[in-house]
Amino acid sequence: MKATYSIVAIVMPFASAYVAKHRPSSNTLPKRPGAYPRCDLSCPVHPSHDGIVNAQEIFAWEKAIRPKISRLQSIVQVPTVVYNDMGDVDKDERWKPLGQVAVVLNSSYPNIHHYTSPEVVHKYGHIYTVEGSNPDLKPIFLTAHQDVIPVDEDTLDEWTHSPFKGYYEQRNGYLYGRGTADDKSALTGLMSALEALLAQDYDPRRAVILAFGFDHGISVQSYHAGGDNFTPPPHSAIGVMSEIVTTIENNLFDARIGWDSPVHQRVRLGGLDGAARFSVRLSPETHYLFQTSQAVDLIAGGETINTLPEYVTLGVSHRLTPQDTIGSRDHSVTGLVQNIVNK
């Protein structure tokens, strides 16, 4: 049996929160004596004193918006499609369109390429670093991914506009195309913000790092005996994988507001667990601000009737909230899978 887990990890932004009327439970508090949450006031922030032009003056008018539209169009028009079965970046021809991304970024963001030394990782990954004046401060690390999911050719006639045309509808302000929402808009936004800052002699105390990957899925594999089904085992690869799917879906991640979560600051005076559980019930939008999402997206296996499959592929995607990590997610899912395959 071959089990492939496609992993999607992003930090979910905070949108809303509800303060419950009961005090936090003990497991939400920091483990130190007398450490009950306090509502500490942050120091006043005066961005107008930093010498940088207000963002609204830079971005919130028609003449300023047009370059941003053009930048997003340019990168949407690059068909950076990544499939589940991609081979080595130096051998699989399907990776090649990603090479055009570097050309687009270089022409669209001259300030970034002038003031930073772009790094290339694993041929198609890009890292841009603006060094900080204080090396003792941890850097700001912001990420996005360049790749997009495939487009089913049988559905092309159902698209309002071609998926890689990057059509902009001025009437409603929509830009159509694969990747406009996930995740080329984020990439364009990060690069545009840094480009505007560097145009103003931006000299941050803390280093700023932008990192753009190109394959946000990883996989693990295991093998299950196949062959003729004249003497079949109690559970074929498909049967085992089916149990894995059921087990994974029956073991969701907890809805929590961790002590180090950005959401924590907004609800620290109330019940953190209660706030998380209430917010999960409000709507799908608030649900996954507090709970790592989990979706079984793909399952495939078997060639014909009367033959046991040797390989079955399962794709499960997760979007991580701040209280969970890739490591904790891997540990949880791997534990569930091992309990089944070791039976």
pLDDT values of the chain reduced to their tens digit, one per residue, 343 residues: 444 433 333 333 322 232 333 333 434 444 444 455 555 556 766 666 677 887 777 777 778 888 999 999 999 999 999 988 888 999 999 999 999 999 999 999 999 999 998 999 999 999 999 999 999 999 999 999 999 989 988 898 999 999 999 999 989 889 999 999 889 999 999 999 999 999 988 889 999 999 999 986 545 455 555 555 555 666 677 788 888 888 988 888 887 766 666 666 655 555 556 666 666 666 766 777 778 888 888 888 877 777 778 788 888 888 888 888 888 888 888 888 888 888 7
pTM of the complete model = 0.69
Q: 297 is in which domain, residue-wise?
A: 220-342
Q: Name residues whose C-beta falls within 8 Å of residue 270's C-beta, 6 or more positions apart in sequence.
A: 19, 20, 21, 22, 23, 24
Indicate the pairing of strand 227-228 with strand 307-308: antiparallel
One domain, residues 209 and 68: yes
Q: How many residues does the chain have?
A: 343
Q: How far is CA 62 from CA 56, 108, 175, 198, 200, in A?
A: 12, 18, 15, 21, 20
Does residue 314 contact residue 343 with C-beta atoms inside 8 Å? no
**Residue ending a domain, choose from 184, 213, 242:** 213
**Residue ending a domain, choose from 178, 193, 213:** 213
CATH number of the structural domain spanning residue 169: 3.40.630.10
Residue 304 has φ and ψ, to the nearest 5°, of -160, 160
User: How far is Cα 343 from Cα 339, in angstroms, rounded to an integer?
Assistant: 7
Does residue 323 contact residue 257 with C-beta atoms inside 8 Å? yes
**Residue ending a domain, choose from 188, 213, 238:** 213
